[in-house]
Amino acid sequence: MVVAGGLFLAVMSTTVVSVALPAIGSAMRVRSSGLEWIVDAYVIVYSSLLVTCGTAGDRLGRKGLFLAGVAAFGAGSLIAGLAPSVGVLLAGRALQGIGPALVMPGSLTIIRALFEDERQRALAIGTWSTASGLALAVGPVVGGLLVADFGWRAVFLFNAPLTAILIALAARYVPRLPRNPARGRFDWAGAMLTVVAIAALAVGTIEGQSIGWASPLVLVAFAIGVIALGSFTVLESRHACPLVDVRLFARPNFVVANVAAFVVFFAFIGAIVYFSAYFQQAQSRSALAAGLDVCFIGIFFALGASASGRLTGRFGARWPMIAGLVIAGGATFGLLRLGVSTGIGAIWWNFALLGGGTGLCLTPMTAVAVSAADASKAGMVSSVHSTFRQVGQVFGVAVLGALVYARLTARTVGSLTHFQRELFVTGLRHALLLDGIALFSAAALAAILFARASLVTHPQHASASAEECGPYDPHHEPTPAP
């Protein structure tokens, strides 16, 4: 429960802030493109450091990095809450992002080490996933209450006492696990290339919608990102003890788990952010009212995640993952009827299916990913999987934002004119259409790749031992799970 608490804070930080964005924009005179950076400064740092922090945790110890991550998150929250300017606010958000980068892979690694039985591990991951669902459910409501009663700064400052409590509990209850006694040198070049690749591609995507996709800055950012990503792949395939063993991607089940993670968070977190904007900008509702409406998604996400732990432990990962993607995709297509004046009474069940579907596929895709290697490399595989989640979130906020605001010439953050509201809703429908296509495509890919992997839902150890860092045979398929 303590490690789930770290995930709870990390996820709630995104949903709480999404409700506060209009208030921050009005107070600091920030346009919507700048507000996206308040979300993405956190997520970019988070995602770009995940792989490095996961492997570092294998070597340095998971508990110490877990505690350091919670402390960094608390310090960043204080800086953001007391920020006198947008620049300082972004710096605080970036420091916040270091926190979950240390916490996320460590928490999954602790679960991987403590629960060796596959069914028990699935239930534990279900509990861990439910924490994110609860954060999604209560985050918008908490954010609305804090903004309404205390102002936007409170959405950051309230993290300080929570992190202090979590540090005390983690110091007492989180066990110290054995470190990985790897002989090889730490892959510093790979660590640098992951940061550069993810950050450059994210910057290009975010800035492309505001300054133009053909602008020199955007083109250079994309070029740097692609070159860094290609260099990383080549380097890791030749390194004796790589930061990421890229040969794991020869396993179809590992690929589908990470592709599903990217798509789910691309569609889901992007929808959370822009539905909050829809209720406040297109319908001129308060932050609290918007939070109460959006919380339907989070409530059913938590219910779906809770159920998926039991279903995955009993039936394996294949069908819960595919079913969840299909349900979420269908719900997203159902929201294409959205209009400027559509009330929550007409669409709450779509929100429920969207949340329940994405929650349903969360545990199976995570269980497949963290079972792809033995315990000595658990930090690596869990950090790779978490990176796909967070990169999906970055691109979801950026790409969907480009569609939502594509037809608005004045991208303000306050109330819109009637004509601007119509344009906003048209853009939101385009974003939802892309979400639905992505979710159904991920479901089709999952069906194909799981079939190719002979219905393997719990792959055996795929990587080499920690001491040898040697190669493994990527063509060897483990025995199918019963």
Tens-digit pLDDT profile for the chain (482 aa)?
666 777 778 778 777 887 788 888 888 877 666 677 787 788 788 878 877 776 666 666 667 777 888 899 999 999 999 998 888 999 999 999 888 888 776 676 677 666 767 777 777 776 776 776 677 667 778 888 888 888 889 999 988 888 888 888 877 777 666 565 555 677 788 888 988 998 888 888 877 777 778 889 899 999 999 999 999 989 888 877 787 888 888 888 888 889 999 999 888 877 777 888 888 888 888 878 887 888 788 788 878 877 887 788 778 788 889 999 999 999 999 999 988 888 888 898 999 999 899 888 887 888 788 776 666 666 677 778 878 887 888 788 778 888 888 777 544 555 677 788 888 899 999 999 999 999 999 999 888 887 776 544 443 433 333 344 443 333 333 333 33
Q: Distance between CA 480 and CA 255 in Å, rounded?
A: 17
Task: Find the DSSP H helices in 336-417.
Answer: 344-370, 378-404
Rounded CA separation 369/387 (Å): 12
Burial 145-184 (b: 16+ CB within 10 A, else e): bbbbeeebbbbbbbbeebbeebbeebeeebeebeebebee
Name every residue whose Cβ is closer than 8 Å to that of residue 149 and which is 6 or more positions away in sequence: none
For 169, the token pair is: 């509990």
User: For the whole model, what pTM was predicted?
Assistant: 0.74
How far CA 15 is from CA of 60, 149, 252, 325, in Å, comes to 31, 18, 32, 21
Contacting residues for 289 by C-beta, under 8 A, at least 6 apart: 144, 279
